[in-house]
Amino acid sequence: MIKLPDDVSRETMERLEVYSKLLEKWNPRINLVSRQTIPDLWARHFVDSAQIYSLAPQGFGKWVDLGSGGGFPGLVCAIIAAERDPSSVFTMVESDARKSVFLRTVIRETRLNAKVISDRIEKIPPLGAQVLSARALADLDTLLHFAERHLQESGTALFPKGVSWEKEVEIASRSWLFDWEATKSETESGAVVLRIGGISRV
């Protein structure tokens, strides 16, 4: 059975439960996640997002989550960080106004040190992230364009990718130089989380 790490505290679990209840309440109206995944919400979305947090460098300060949608992985990582890295600041970038309202509602109800920017990724000023995440948003080549704009030079990008991840790395390597490490996903066979740094154009 896939589950959250054993060392997740009661307070963190309470925040995650508040989040999950809000998600189930809002989802029929604004389609935050696929309806078919709701029965398996914890494994498909919460545990999947928590594993991304575990790959972040220690002592990060500013985490930016692009195309946050229903808040994965950004809100889950922000909830875990509320106890483990309380000085960290999270920014969710989401262009859909209704989803942005949902994200702000969860942030308020779970008392997170986070904010939401409701605009297009390519339009907002550079955010200077030390950690940059994005889940099911775009192909790797496009994500590296976003990272070039919003990630600090010494920062780390964390991008979960499906079974075709090697092909995406190959295509992106035609336009970009970057250091990468693939960690096998705990929740999906053949999938990985790419940990990327040192990004520059070819």
Least confident of 32-36, 84-88, 131-135, 154-158: 32-36
| pLDDT of residue 3 exceeding 70 | no
Q: What is the pLDDT of residue 7?
A: 66
Q: What is the pLDDT of residue 6?
A: 59
| pLDDT of residue 4 exceeding 70 | no
Q: What is the pLDDT of residue 70?
A: 95
Q: What is the pLDDT of residue 5?
A: 57
Q: What is the pLDDT of residue 36?
A: 78
For residues 1 and 117, the model is more confident at 117
Distance of CA 90 to the CA centre of its chain: 10
Mean pLDDT of 141-163: 97
Q: Can you spell out the DSSP letters for 53-74?
A: HTTSPTT--EEEEES-TTTTTH
Mean pLDDT of 39-65: 90
pLDDT band at residue 35 using 50, 70 and 90 as cut-offs = confident
Mean pLDDT of 64-87: 96
pLDDT band at residue 43 using 50, 70 and 90 as cut-offs = confident
Mean pLDDT of 48-70: 95
Q: Are 94 and 123 in contact (CB under 8 A)?
A: no
Q: Where are the domains of the chain?
A: 10-155
Q: What is the pLDDT of residue 1?
A: 39
Q: What is the pLDDT of residue 192?
A: 98
Q: Are 63 and 45 in contact (CB under 8 A)?
A: no
| pLDDT of residue 2 exceeding 60 | no
Q: Are 72 and 48 in contact (CB under 8 A)?
A: yes
pLDDT band at residue 159 using 50, 70 and 90 as cut-offs = very high
Q: Measure the N-to-C terminal CA separation of the chain; round to a whole number of Å.
A: 43
Across the chain, mean pLDDT equals: 93
Q: Domain 10-155: state its class.
A: alpha beta
**DSSP-assigned letter for residue 43:** I
Q: What is the pLDDT of residue 42?
A: 80
The beta strand positions in 81-128, using DSSP E, are 89-93, 114-117
Please give the helix or strand (H or E) that residue 14 lies within, else none: helix 10-30
Q: Considering the entire predicted model, what is its pTM?
A: 0.94
- 108's tokens: 């308020």
Cα–Cα distance list, 190 to 45, 164, 165 (Å):
17, 8, 9
Mean pLDDT of 47-56: 94
